[in-house]
Amino acid sequence: MGAMTATDRAIVRPGREHTRRRVNRRVLAGYGFVMPAVILLVFFALGPFLFTIWVSIHSWNMLTPVAEMPFEGLTNYRYLVNDDPLFRETFGNTIYFAVGNVGVSVVLALGVALILNGQVKLRAFWRAAFFMPYVTAPVAIAIVWRNILDSNWGMLNGLLDRVGLPQQPFLDSLEQAMPSVIGVAIWHGVGYYMIIFLAGLQAIPHDLYEAARLDGAGAWKLFWSITLPLLRPTLLFVIVVNTLASLQVFDLPFVLTDGGPVNETNTLVMYMYDTAFRFLRMGRATAMAVMLFAVIFVMTMIQLRLLREKE
Amino acid sequence: MFDSNQTSTAISRTGISRRRFAQGMAATPFALGAAAKGFRATRAQDKVKLVLLTHWGTQEQKEPLDAILAEYTAANPNVEIEHQTVAFDELLNRISTGQLGGDAPDIYHFYNLWLPDFAASELLSTPPEDVNADITASYAEGTVGGASFNGQAWGYPTEVNDYQLIYNKTMFQEAGIEAPPSTFAELREHAKALTKGSGDNLTQAGIMFLQGWDSGVVHPWTSLLWSNGGQYVADDYSAALFNEQPGIDTLQLQADIISDGSAILSLLEDADFESGRAAMTIMANWWGATLRASDLGIENVGVAPIPHGDGGTSTAVQYEWLWGVSNVSQNAEAAWAFLKWLNGPRDGAADASSPMGDFLTSALNAIPGRTSDQAAHTDVLGDPFVKPFVDAFASARSEPIIPGAQEIKTALQTQIESVWFGQKDAAEALNQAAEEANRILKEKMGS
């Protein structure tokens, strides 16, 4: 098609031209408004994500230019799956932590929320008290708990001693280290999930309970037939968010035990950190990140499928 | 308000097409950047600017070094020095990001364990001939070895540290033991004799083994390994050798002491030695600052050579830090000239301390690697706690500077601890660590 000449342009009906310009401007304005968010997304989310995948199929020590990274294909992935016992161990530790933390803290948070949703003395105080650990930085909490759980000097052992119970090694024990870390994580997070459950509980219409009571339903029946089904979206949110956080846990075990003793509390993200920043194996570390992303994605999808509202 | 019609009119008046205008707008930032770079280059011709990166960020450390830098720039007005500091944990990240981002400092102060990775990545500039000769002639053989990789010294060694047996004199007196242990057998016997209580009621352990920290576990163990006639790795880096019989015996000694109930496994932060819960440990000289500040009192602390096994001689692990110059520095020549001044005797007097020697002994309480600095600071280095560490450098050996050293060290730490915690026997654990080390060496040497 030939280009329009000046004469051609002059004979185009002015009204249509004006409308087209207005539409073009509106479209451009739309793009203009969206562009900052798109740029941020590309530079700070999509870009790094794609770069992570790109690095994971290379060998890179962060000291040589990116353009000179040797291509490795799926070597990093194959190594992690087939030849790296520490990857399997830290993955297992991470699942152990996630199951323990999510399982206990969800039940505990729901229980506390149910109690504090009723008529309890000093209700506001108790709610604040349970929520308080969550507003404290995990690193600060870990330092305090490390001292409390110290096998030689810890307050908890002092307490056990006073009541005539045997002292425990806690963080120095192969068997007790991970349960101790999980315990601290539960203490830290239960108040936050309690608040979410409280919001969910207060959104349940009260007349449903009254109607059920008139029909003779007891406390257990009320909970099982009204509270739990109507709390399903809240429960889903709490489980998904808590699982995501648990699978990415780093700060608490890093400060509490630094992964010890003998890697018993070493998590996948801690191993990823060591691999990247201490061993300078960025390709392998990003392969771990991609695999962790895949695991989190699949687990979240499964949870959403299992817990979503039936149509 | 921006009016596109006015802009269009202005463009058409100047006779520039829209496309050309857009191209010009897009190119503007690059043109400005290039101009700015040219401006910096022009200035750089007038004055050389050196950027120095260290992990000495506290006020007590940074100020004395800055004063030395000011002394140099006053004598060399054409040189400007910027001293950047980061925490030790961030130092390696800062070096790598600076290298990648084109913002590399000219001079690094770094841990010698990183040397193989730095050398393999061509991060460092090779010292000029005069600097190389100065390093070889002015430092002990072990210290030069610690600053070398593949037979090449890569920079000036600075602070050197080694490991010795540290013991509580009062506890030894109370137990009626006159001298610290000099052999493996005595180490086990003394640890037993110095232990009070057992299990939950252990009030005093014969010896403290540090856990949860790679250097705290591996350096003392390697000192014992070498003192038992063992080797860490083959000279050509082809295979780990720490799983041979001397290594197994060394780890078995530690396992035996633990099963005797004579040891306490402790984190460094637990302060078990400083608070009088342990009679002995194997630790580095820099720990002296902690001991001096503790209630234990430095006069109550004795230092002795590493106990040796049958047929072995006491050999300590030493590690060090060094100054290196970036391979991408535009001012490498000026950087090496500055480092030669910083690490050389003042005013060219052979027996004088270097500015670096003054800084290390006064601001860091550290032992300088340069032998003339050690001689010039006998007042500080002759301290009863420090002197045995200085004397031990004569027979000390550098921590193995091998490809993948950090990764191998971490793998070895895990396996040593697994024996301490009764998960594995010594041979099984060391074989597993060696298998891992050999795989890492093969990968790194092949790359």
Average pLDDT over residues B308-323: 94
Tell me the pLDDT band of A295, cut-offs 50, 70 and 90: very high
- Is pLDDT of A5 > 70? no
Tell me the pLDDT band of A76, cut-offs 50, 70 and 90: very high
Task: Indicate the residue of B421, B439, B447 with minimum beta-carbon distance to A174.
Answer: B421
pLDDT in tens, B319-340: 999 999 999 999 999 999 999 9
Tell whether A274 is within 8 A of chain B (Cβ). yes
pLDDT in tens, A89-122: 999 999 999 999 999 999 999 999 999 998 889 9
- Is pLDDT of A264 > 80? yes
B301 three-state secondary structure? strand
Cα(B367)–Cα(B382) distance, integer angstroms = 11
Under a CB-based contact definition with an 8 Å cutoff, are residues B282 and B220 in contact?
A: yes
Q: What is the mean pLDDT of chain B?
A: 88
pLDDT > 90 fraction of chain B, expressed in percent and rounded: 71
Exposed e or buried b for every residue in B86-112, given b needs 16+ CB within 10 A?
A: beeeebbebbbebbeeeebbbbbbbbb
Under a CB-based contact definition with an 8 Å cutoff, are residues A173 and A260 in contact?
A: no
Q: Give B350's contacts (C-beta < 8 A, 6+ positions apart).
A: B372
- Is pLDDT of A4 > 80? no
Cα distances (Å, whole numbers) of residue A136 to A192, B137, B307: 12, 55, 47
Cα(B145)–Cα(B139) distance, integer angstroms = 10
Q: In the prediction, which pLDDT does A234 show?
A: 94
CB spacing of B270 vs A66 below 8 angstroms: no
Give contacts of B117 with chain A, Cβ < 8 Å: 61, 63, 280
Cα(B268)–Cα(B163) distance, integer angstroms = 15
CA atoms in the 13 A half-sphere facing the CB of A62: 21
Question: Residue A159 corresponds to which amino acid?
Answer: L
Average pLDDT over residues A269-274: 96
Under a CB-based contact definition with an 8 Å cutoff, are residues B374 and B368 in contact?
A: yes
Q: DSSP of A30-48, one letter per residue?
A: HHHHHHHHHHHHIIIIIHH
Q: In the prediction, which pLDDT does B311 show?
A: 81
Q: What is the ipTM for the molecules in this complex?
A: 0.80
Give contacts of B3 with chain A, Cβ < 8 Å: none
Under a CB-based contact definition with an 8 Å cutoff, are residues B146 and B152 in contact?
A: no
- Is pLDDT of B244 > 50? yes
> B356 CA to chain A: closest CA distance, Å?
28
Average pLDDT over residues A218-247: 94
Cα(A130)–Cα(B127) distance, integer angstroms = 61
For A158-163, the CB contacts below 8 A with 24+ separation are: none
- Is pLDDT of A86 > 90? yes
Tell me the pLDDT band of A6, cut-offs 50, 70 and 90: low
What is the separation of C-alpha B114 from the centre of its chain, rounded to a whole number of angstroms?
A: 9
With vertex at residue B149, the alpha carbon angle to CA B145 and CA B154, rounded to the nearest 5 degrees, is 85
Q: In the prediction, which pLDDT does A8 show?
A: 56
Q: In the prediction, which pLDDT does B349 show?
A: 80
- For B303, phi then psi, to 5°, come to -125, 135
Residue in A26, A172, A262, A266 to test binding to B, most B beta-carbons within 10 Å? A262
Average pLDDT over residues B23-50: 53
Give contacts of B439 with chain A, Cβ < 8 Å: 83
B19 three-state secondary structure? helix
Taking alpha carbons only, the member of B45, B124, B149, B145 closest to residue B339 is: B124
Alpha helices per DSSP H over B76-181: 88-100, 115-120, 129-138, 141-146, 169-174
- Is pLDDT of B112 > 70? yes
What is the separation of C-alpha B108 from the centre of its chain, rounded to a whole number of angstroms?
A: 13
Better-scored residue on pLDDT, B22 or A217: A217
The sign of the torsion formed by the CA atoms of B386, B388, B392, B393 equals positive
- Is pLDDT of A277 > 70? yes
CB spacing of A262 vs B265 below 8 angstroms: no
- Is pLDDT of B258 > 90? yes
pLDDT in tens, B61-73: 999 999 999 999 9
pLDDT in tens, B148-173: 998 899 999 999 999 999 999 999 99
Average pLDDT over residues B18-27: 47
Taking alpha carbons only, the member of B442, B374, B380, B381 closest to residue B408 is: B442
Q: In the prediction, which pLDDT does B447 show?
A: 53
- For A279, phi then psi, to 5°, come to -95, -5
Q: Which residue from A minimizes the CA distance to B408?
A: A279
